[in-house]
Structure 1
Amino acid sequence: MLLADGIHAVITDRHGGVSAEPYTSRNLGGAVGDDFDAVLRNRHDTAVELGVDPARVVMMRQVHGRDVRFVTEPFGDDPPPLDAIYTTEPGLALNVLVADCAPVLLADPVARVVGAAHSGRPGTQLGVVPALVEAMATRGAEPYQMVALIGPAACGLCYEVPAEMREDVARVVPEAWATTRQGTPAVDIRAAIEAQLHKANITDIRHDTRCTIETPDLYSYRRDSRTGRFGGFIWLDV
C-alpha cells in the first residue's frame, strides 16, 4: 500500500513462506527456534515480492526499549539492540518484527523521512514512538505533516495483565487502561500509541485494527507461545 505519495508500507502475514510447523509458514523472526535457512529464504522471498532489494532491508535486534538510530544501510548479521530506526535513503526498507506488539510505521512525505518502531507494552511505556518522532524531526520531519500506521497488535479486550502492571502503564499513558471481555485487567497498547502520536502533534493516524490474538492469519506469542514473527515494512520510492 501507499502510505503517502512515494512511500510504501506493508504488513505481512504468516502465509506464503517455507517454514514448517509450528512456524507455518512466512516466519521472518530469526530468534524463535525456527530453522534459520527457512527464515533467510522467507526474508529474501518477501523482499522480492515487495519489490525491494533483499540486500537493502534493515532489521533490528529488538529489546523492548526506546533506543532509536538513523540508518543508511543494513546492519548485517549482528544488528544492534534497537526498537526504532529511520532513514532518508530511497529504496532502503525498514523492518519491524512482531507477534502481539505493535509495528508502528511513520512517514513525512514532504521531508522524505520514514521510520519504523517496535512498540509493545514495555516500549510503549518507555515512549519508543515519541522518541522516534523526535529523532525524525532532527532530519527535517514535521509532525503536523507526518502519517502514521499502527499495525496489528494484541487488542485491549484480549491483552490481559496483572492489575499492578496495568496501573504502571496507565500511570505513564492513561489511555492504556483497559479491561478484557472477562472483566480482568488489560492494557490497550493501540490506544496508548495513538494518544502518544496525538500528543506529538501527528493527526493523520491510520490503523490495521486486527488483533493478533484473535487473527489466525497472524502470529501471536500470547496465543501460541512457540510461534513466528510477521513484519511491518516501510520504504521510500527510489
Structure 2
Amino acid sequence: MAAQPGPVVLAVDLGPGVRAGFTTRAGGVSAEPYGGLNLGAGVGDDPASVAENRSRVAGWAGAPVAFGTQVHGRDVAVVTSSGDPDPLASVGEVDALVASGPGVAVGVLVADCVPILIADAEAGLAAAVHAGRRGLVAGVVEAAVERLVALGARHDRLRAAVGPSIAGASYEVPAELRDEVADVVPDVAARTAWGTPALDLPAGVLAVLRGAGVEGVEHVARDTYLDETLFSYRRTGRTGRFAGIVRTPR
C-alpha cells in the first residue's frame, strides 16, 4: 500500500525543540467544498474525514493536538497533557491555548482570522491564539502573553509567528466598524485595494504583540482571500479550516 501523503505545513522557527507551523489545504481527505486538509469539526464536514485529517497533523506535530471551541473571546486554557485520544475532542470554549510541559501540542482553527503562535523554548511553554476582530478588541493576544509569563516565560525569550489571514487590502468593512475597532487597536485601520474602508487584522496583531513586549515576531504574510491553497470563509462561504499548531520541546 502506498504511503499516505503528509499535510503540507508552513513551518516556522520558534526556538530549539519547538515544532510550529500553519497548515494548508493540501494533504487531507475531506471532499469538496472542504477540499483536503479541513481541520474544523464544526463546519459540516464528515467527522471521520476531520478525524483523519487531525490525525495526520498530529503525526506532523509529533503529538496529538488539543483544540478548543472558539467563541471570539479572550479566555485562555492551559493544556498540560499530550492530548485527548479523540481527535475531535474540545478543551472548551476558548480562543487561546497554552501548552505547558514536554511535548504538548495545541492549535487554533482559522479561515480568515489571524492564527498566532508564541513560544519560550527554554521555559517549555507555547501558545496558539485565534484572533478575529472581536478577539483582538477583547484582548486575547495580551491575555495569552500574560498567561505565558505567569507560568514562567520571559518576554525577552518569547518568539512569535503571525500566520496567514485575510489582508487589509481584502477585508472590506463599513467605515463605522473600522473606526470602532481602530478606537481600541489603531493599527487595524486600512483601505482595501479598491479604496474602501478595511481592517488590517495582522497589522493590529503585530502592534499588540510589540506592545505586550514580544519583539521576535515572524509574519507569514499570505492573504487567505487571494490564496487558494488556504481556506477563506469570506472568499467561498462554506469551507474548511486550517490551523496554527505549536508543540513544546520534548
TM-score by length of 1: 0.95
Please tell me whether the aligned partners of residues 19 and 248 of structure 2 are also in contact (alpha carbons under 8 angstroms). Answer: yes
Q: CA deviation at 1:109?
A: 2.0
Deviation at 1:92, TM superposition (A): 1.3
Give 1:104's match in structure 2, choosing from 91, 116, 120.
116
Is the alpha carbon distance of 1:100 and 1:29 closer, same or farther for their aligned partners in structure 2, counting shifts above 3 Å?
same
CA distance in 2, matches of 1:143, 1:221: 34
SS at match of 1:97: strand
Cα drift, residue 5 of structure 1: 1.2
Residue correspondence of structure 1 range 62-211 to structure 2 within 5 A: 62-73=70-81, 74=83, 77-211=89-223
Q: Distance in 2 between matches of 1:211 and 1:61?
A: 24
Give, in whole Å, the separation in 1 of the partners of 2:218 and 2:56. Answer: 27
**2:62 maps to 1:52:** yes
- Shift of the alpha carbon at 1:78? 4.3
1:15 counterpart residue number: 26
2:245 pairs with 210, 233, 237, which one? 233
Counterpart secondary structure, 2:183 = helix
Select between 134-143 and 209-218 the one with higher mean Cα deviation. Answer: 134-143
- How many percent of aligned residue pairs carry the same amino acid? 44
Match of 1:32 among 25, 43, 64: 43
- Could you list the structure 1 runs, at least 4 aligned residues long, displaced by more than 4 angstroms after superposition: none
Number of aligned residue pairs: 235
Structure 2: stretches of 5+ with no match in the other structure: 1-10
- Work out the CA distance in 1 between the residues paired with 2:182 and 2:202: 13
- Counterpart Cα distance in 2 of 1:107 and 1:58: 16
Question: Secondary structure of the residue that 1:161 maps to in structure 2?
Answer: coil
Conservation of the 8 A alpha-carbon contact between 2:61 and 2:105: no
- Alignment partners' CA distance in 1, 2:155 and 2:90: 32
1:92-122: CA deviations, max 9, x gaps?
Answer: 1111110000110001122221111001111
* SS of corresponding position for 2:98: strand
